[in-house]
């Protein structure tokens, strides 16, 4: 298993700007937006687990590339959902 460079985004490998999260500027912004969307989706769908939310987000054709990358990353690394 490769050790990730501490200066690289955990999702795409670009230079990080959010050190605690280990994310680049793009993925840091997308992470915030995905987190903000979850309570809205959960309220709309009733009981929706984080994993179900992320899987639905990935499946939507309207989901942007960065949001899809973030959702896939969070599915693979659920401990990163804080």
12-46 pLDDT tens trace = 999 998 788 889 999 999 999 999 999 999 999 98
- In sequence order, which residues have a C-beta less than 8 Å from that of residue 23 and are 6 or more positions away? 9, 10, 11, 16, 17, 31
Q: What does pTM read for this prediction?
A: 0.86
Residue 47 confidence (pLDDT): 85
Average predicted confidence (pLDDT) for the chain: 90
Domain boundaries, the chain: 25-80
Tokens 């050790």 locate to 3
CA–CA dist 66, 31 (Å, integer): 9
- In sequence order, which residues have a C-beta less than 8 Å from that of residue 48 and are 6 or more positions away? 41, 42
Tokens 């795409």 locate to 12
């Amino acid at each position: 298993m490769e050790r990730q460079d501490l200066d690289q985004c955990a999702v795409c490998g670009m230079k990080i700007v959010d050190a605690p999260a280990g994310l680049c500027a793009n993925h840091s912004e997308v992470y915030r937006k995905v987190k903000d969307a979850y309570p809205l989706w959960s309220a709309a769908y009733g009981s929706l687990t984080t994993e179900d939310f992320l899987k639905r987000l990935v499946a939507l054709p309207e989901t942007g590339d960065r949001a899809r990358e973030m959702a896939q990353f969070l599915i693979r690394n659920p401990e990163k959902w804080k």
